[in-house]
């Protein structure tokens, strides 16, 4: 039950700037709810970025990242129309992915 993602990939001079937004509660496991019970850990663990099917970034992130995270990074090279795919995997085994072409 993953919420929406949104991505932009813009070509610069010899590089591509990518910005991706994702919906995720990113629970640390330390917060208590209104009844005083601990809210279980729930956070994105792995982030994978592929360009035209080839993995270029594999990142591990933790509970330290805020809710609804935004990631932005610069890739070397790239051409208009190249397909960029970003996917995440959280500690519950849920995943979500988004694909966009470089503009």
Interface contacts to other proteins, rule CB under 8 A = 3-6, 8, 19-23, 25, 66-68, 70, 72
Nearer to other proteins (CB atom), residue 52 or residue 95: 95
Least distance CB 26 / other proteins (angstroms): 9
Phi/psi at 79 (5° precision):
-140, 155
**Minimum distance of other proteins from residue 35's CB (angstroms):** 14
CB of 75 to other proteins, least distance (A): 16
**Shortest distance (Å) from residue 69 CB to other proteins:** 8
- In a 10 Å sphere around its CB, with 0-12 CB exposed, 13-18 middle and 19+ buried, how is residue 40 labelled? exposed
- What strands, in cross-sheet order, belong to the sheet with 70-76? 5-11, 15-22, 70-76
Q: Report the distance separating Cα 3 and Cα 17, nearest Å.
A: 23
The C-alpha torsion from 2 through 31 and 41 to 62, rounded to 10°, is 90
Nearer CB in complex with other proteins: 31/80? 31
Instruction: Decide whether 3 or 52 has the Cβ nearer to other proteins.
Output: 3
């Amino acid at each position: 039950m993953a919420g929406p993602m949104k991505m932009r990939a813009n070509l610069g001079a010899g590089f591509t700037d990518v910005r991706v937004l994702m919906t995720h509660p990113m629970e640390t496991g330390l917060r208590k709810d209104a009844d005083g019970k601990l809210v279980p850990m729930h956070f994105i663990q792995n982030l994978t970025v592929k360009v035209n099917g080839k993995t270029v970034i594999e990142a591990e992130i933790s509970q330290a990242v805020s809710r609804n995270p935004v990631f932005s990074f610069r890739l070397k090279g790239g051409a208009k129309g190249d397909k960029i795919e970003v996917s995440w995997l959280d500690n519950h085994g849920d995943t979500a992915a988004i694909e966009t072409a470089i503009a």
